[in-house]
Structure formats: C-alpha cells, structure tokens
Homo-oligomer: A and B are copies of this chain.
Amino acid sequence: MDPSDATPSAELGFDVFAARCTSRATMETITSRWGALTLAALADTPMRFGELRRRIGGVSEKMLSQTLKQLEAGGLLTRTVVSETPLAVEYALTDAGQQVAAAIMALIDTVYRVQPAVDEARSA
C-alpha cells in the first residue's frame, strides 16, 4: 500500500472523513482560519505573542489567544514564560507541531504556485 495514501482506514486506523474520528478534530484545529498561519509563522522560529500578532495580518488578540490555546491543548506547541517583569511569553512548536507545520508550509507553497490560475479563474 502506498504510504502516502490518505484514504480512509490508513495504516494507523484514523479517518478524517469520519465525523467522529479524533483526527477530524485535529484537522479542524490546524486548518482553522488562524491555526494554519500560526503554525506556519512558528515553523522557522519561536515567537512571542506580540510578534505573532504583528506577523499574522488581521488576527485579533482574542483569536490569536484562542488559537494558541487550542494548538497547545493538542500538543502542537508549548507556551513558556520567559520573563515575569516585564511579562514575556514564548511560543514554540513541539516535534508534532514541526511536522504539521512543514506540511502546512508545503501547502502554502502550492497555493503560491496555483494562485495565478486562481486569480485568473476569479476574474473570468
């Protein structure tokens, strides 16, 4: 069997097409509006809250905070208090987070590649 096959009943028994599979929840977390961008932003280097906020155009504090919590709960990133006064917190990807982020980066690259075609389709 092709190891890159993502059809149902993959080697490990997960199936994103099944509504109740836990992998579905993970998929929704990482492909959420800000989840993917947050992971991509942290792919290169750990960042602080404010840095992330400036880097990801259009996120509100609320959404970034919420997204970070979800990713942390899923074990994709860690939250570390670097300094108390002034308060400084650093967010960094875990191993699992790095793997997912790499896949997200590849997806983003693909988007860049097809974007001219997409723009063309929309204007037509």
CB within 8 Å for A75 and B17 given contacts A10-B109, A10-B112: no
Copies in the complex: 2
Partner of A121, one of B75, B102, B108: B75
- A7 and B112 contacting across the interface, CB-CB below 8 Å: no
Q: Of the 9-residue stretches A22-30, A61-69, A79-87, which lies at the interface with chain B? A: A22-30
- B17 and A37 contacting across the interface, CB-CB below 8 Å: yes
How many angstroms from the CA of A116 to the CA of B96 in the assembled complex? Answer: 10
The verdict on A92 contacting chain B, using a C-beta distance below 8 Å, is no
How many angstroms from the CA of A102 to the CA of B28 in the assembled complex? Answer: 18
- A6 and B100 contacting across the interface, CB-CB below 8 Å: no
The verdict on A1 contacting chain B, using a C-beta distance below 8 Å, is no
- B19 and A57 contacting across the interface, CB-CB below 8 Å: yes
How many angstroms from the CA of A103 to the CA of B103 in the assembled complex? Answer: 7
- A103 and B100 contacting across the interface, CB-CB below 8 Å: no
A99 contact set on B, CB distance < 8 A: 110, 113-114
20 residue pairs of the A-B complex, CB under 8 angstroms, read A4-B109, A5-B105, A5-B109, A6-B105, A12-B116, A16-B37, A16-B40, A17-B41, A18-B57, A19-B58, A24-B58, A26-B114, A27-B36, A30-B111, A31-B36, A73-B122, A75-B120, A102-B110, A103-B103, A103-B106
